[in-house]
């Protein structure tokens, strides 16, 4: 099982489980490989207990960087070093890095702080169109730039 941010994904990518944002607290959504979506109420403790019973072990979980190719990871690392905090793929399939949380406006994304986004040139197949990804949620609240020490609050 893989955990990316608050989303659990099984190793064969048959299902994903994540909080349903924009809904009331403790609302989760399970998405199955066939496209079926199921919403349900649960506490985070219930989800953690169920995932542990299903074999989720945070000690042996794969590195979240493994969802990126080496080239993609290199681009993400550079973007982080330059102060970018978010990734989003537009309707054309082009991925950009943003300083502030991007806001979707039609087929495109705009930085909520009015900053110029940085275009990334890899495919980023692991990112979904129409969703933005917080690098802090993926990698924790500390710097992940190579060579810097982590204060222990990292998730990697």
User: Could you tell me if residue 156 is inside a domain?
Assistant: no
What pLDDT does residue 149 have? 41
What pLDDT does residue 154 have? 36
Check whether residue 45 and residue 8 sit in a common domain.
yes
DSSP string, 83-119: T--EEEE-TTS-EEEESSPEEEETTEEEETT-PPPEE
**Across the 156 residues of the chain, what is the mean pLDDT of every consecutive 10-residue run?**
72 73 67 73 77 70 72 89 90 91 90 92 85 75 42 37
What pLDDT does residue 61 have? 62
Measured CA to CA in angstroms, residue 90 lies from 21, 25, 69, 104 at distances of 20, 28, 19, 9
User: Could you tell me if residue 108 is inside a domain?
Assistant: yes
Check whether residue 130 and residue 71 sit in a common domain.
yes
Q: Which domain holds residue 41?
A: 2-53
Check whether residue 71 and residue 135 sit in a common domain.
yes
What pLDDT does residue 139 have? 65
What pLDDT does residue 21 have? 60
β-bridge partners, 88: 96, 132
User: Could you tell me if residue 94 is inside a domain?
Assistant: yes
Check whether residue 46 and residue 72 sit in a common domain.
no
Check whether residue 76 and residue 125 sit in a common domain.
yes
Check whether residue 134 and residue 72 sit in a common domain.
yes
Query: What span, in angstroms and rounded, lies between the C-alpha atoms of 150 and 104?
Result: 32
What pLDDT does residue 128 have? 81
User: Could you tell me if residue 12 is inside a domain?
Assistant: yes
How many folded domains does the chain comprise?
2
Query: 131 near 88, Cβ under 8 Å?
Result: yes
103: left (phi over 0), alpha (psi -120 to 50) or beta: beta
């Amino acid at each position: 099982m893989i955990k990316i941010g608050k989303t659990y994904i099984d190793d064969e990518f048959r299902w994903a489980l994540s909080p349903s944002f924009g809904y009331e607290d403790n609302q989760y959504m399970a998405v199955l490989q066939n496209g079926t979506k199921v919403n349900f109420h649960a506490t985070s403790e219930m989800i953690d207990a169920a995932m542990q019973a299903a074999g989720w072990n945070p000690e042996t979980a794969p590195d979240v960087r493994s969802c990126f190719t080496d080239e993609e990871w290199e681009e993400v690392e550079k973007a982080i070093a330059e102060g970018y905090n978010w990734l989003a793929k537009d309707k054309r399939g082009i991925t950009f890095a943003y300083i502030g949380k991007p806001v979707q406006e039609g087929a495109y994304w705009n930085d909520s702080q009015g900053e110029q986004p940085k275009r990334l040139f890899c495919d980023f197949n692991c990112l979904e169109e129409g969703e933005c990804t917080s690098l802090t949620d993926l990698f924790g609240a500390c710097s992940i730039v190579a060579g810097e020490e982590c204060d222990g609050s990292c998730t990697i």
